[in-house]
Amino acid sequence: MSRPDTTHEFFLLTSLSIREKIEMNNNRFHFPSIKIGIVGGGQLGKMMVHKARKMGFYVTVLDPTPDCPAAQAGAEQIVGSFYDEDRLRELVEHSDVTTYDIEHTDTKVLQGLAEEGNKIYPSPVLLETIQDKLRQKDMLNKGSIPTARHEKVDRFDTSCLGKFGFPVVQKAQKGGYDGRGVVVIKNGDNLESIIRSESFIEEFIDFEKELAIMVARGIDGEIRCYPVTEMFFDERANICDMVVAPARIEKEIEEEARRVAIRCVEVLDGVGIFGIEMFLTRDKRVLVNEIAPRPHNSGHYTIEACLTCQFEQHIRAITGLPLGSTRLLCPAVMVNLLGEEGHHGHPAIEGLAKALSVEGLSFYFYGKKTTLPFKKMGHITILDENLGRAIEKAKEVKDFLRVKAEVNA
């Protein structure tokens, strides 16, 4: 059979749906087979770009920072705000399918674009629910998913904030990210830190462990779960500090966490990868805390430790391809590299050579031009057949691997 005209074939491919592209010519792909758009070009976008390009896909990102991390990885970049209607339209119409590496974008614009027939996963309607943490909680409860007791805050006084007793957690309904928008109010005299915007209060959970699980769901409803992990937080900024995989929990709790996580994604009718954060209470209940509709910090370990990493899995899910195996190949510990307190400016990594001498360690630097206190600048993953030994190695590396500023401002 003669080879078809490549120019004609390329323009034919750009007009077809994703599934038609995959199924045409006996499942044969033609480069660039699928064009992916990502709202956000940070570290999550960067790692998605690596996997998408490995598969021969073309990626465009929208990000306000020129030469953002995802652009450094080879994506075409549209420079603009996540809320710029014209730039969002340009991204979506330039792509066969659009996704996100950040929740903070204009869902109304994206809903309109989806209604015009553009493929956007997870759906903008789902994203709008996730953006509002109170709506997210209410939707989970309607789906019979266990969460901490919570209630809308109408006024900022002791009688309102103390309804569940002290301490109590207050959360901003919108805009919270990486520890921001969440405060723990210890008593009625501790009101100077309250959030004075739309918010809700939540019962303070005296938990035994904080757990997380990544769940992928394809366009056809296929679901794959990753191992349950333990998360540890830097209390100074309430930001994830370390992730241990697999979680050191009983088999029954692991099975319950997986069941609840799958139910979350089904209730949301999600497509893509989802990070489900949970509390394990001291009386062994599993409560859902929050859901991220994208690759998540708690899934970074999957790059080295699982057969299919979370970033490739997300690409597979949103493009209608079969999901990959989530089997854990080796126990792993992931440590976030956060900007040091008191350091602002061009980043300088201290202790890198020593860290790279640790057996089983992989190092990632995200390519951000400026470091700030507690800003996520990179991460390390340590693999070891002995999980306890991996944890000890991670703790040792944390003591000397630092991200500081070349000239502190």
> For the chain, how big is the Rg over CA atoms in Å?
22
Q: Which of 288, 356, 343 is nearest to 140 (CA)?
A: 288
Indicate if 112 and 165 belong to the same structural domain. no
Answer whether residue 140 is part of any domain: no
* pLDDT tier at 12, thresholds 50, 70, 90: very low
Question: Where do the H-state alpha helices sit in 121-250?
Answer: 124-131, 133-142, 158-161
- Report the predicted TM-score, pTM, of the whole model to 2 decimal places: 0.90
Question: Who wins on pLDDT, 187 or 201?
Answer: 201
Total tally of structural domains belonging to the chain: 3
Farthest-apart Cα atoms in the chain, separation: 81
- Whether 230 shows a pLDDT value over 70: the answer reads yes
CA distances from 378 to 243, 279, 342, 352, 402 (A): 14, 26, 18, 12, 10
Residue 34 φ/ψ, nearest 5 degrees: -135, 135
pLDDT above 90: percentage of residues in the chain: 76
Answer whether residue 307 is part of any domain: yes
| Both tokens assigned to 300 | 């970074």
Indicate if 183 and 221 belong to the same structural domain. no
Answer whether residue 143 is part of any domain: no
- The dihedral over CA atoms of 407, 375, 364, 240, expressed in degrees to the nearest 10, equals 150
Answer whether residue 248 is part of any domain: yes
DSSP state of 405: E
75-127 per-position pLDDT tens digit: 999 999 999 999 999 999 999 999 999 999 999 999 999 999 999 999 999 99
Indicate if 178 and 299 belong to the same structural domain. no
Indicate if 268 and 294 belong to the same structural domain. yes
CA distances from 253 to 277, 278, 280 (A): 14, 12, 9
Indicate if 92 and 163 belong to the same structural domain. no
| Both tokens assigned to 179 | 């520890």
* pLDDT tier at 22, thresholds 50, 70, 90: low
Indicate if 250 and 169 belong to the same structural domain. no
Instruction: Output the domain CATH number for residue 220.
Output: 3.30.470.20
Domain region containing 293: 207-405
Answer whether residue 130 is part of any domain: no
Indicate if 279 and 387 belong to the same structural domain. yes
- Whether 165 shows a pLDDT value over 90: the answer reads no
Euclidean distance between CA atoms 102 and 125, whole angstroms: 15
Residue with tokens 């994604």: 265
| Both tokens assigned to 38 | 């990502």
Indicate if 217 and 197 belong to the same structural domain. no
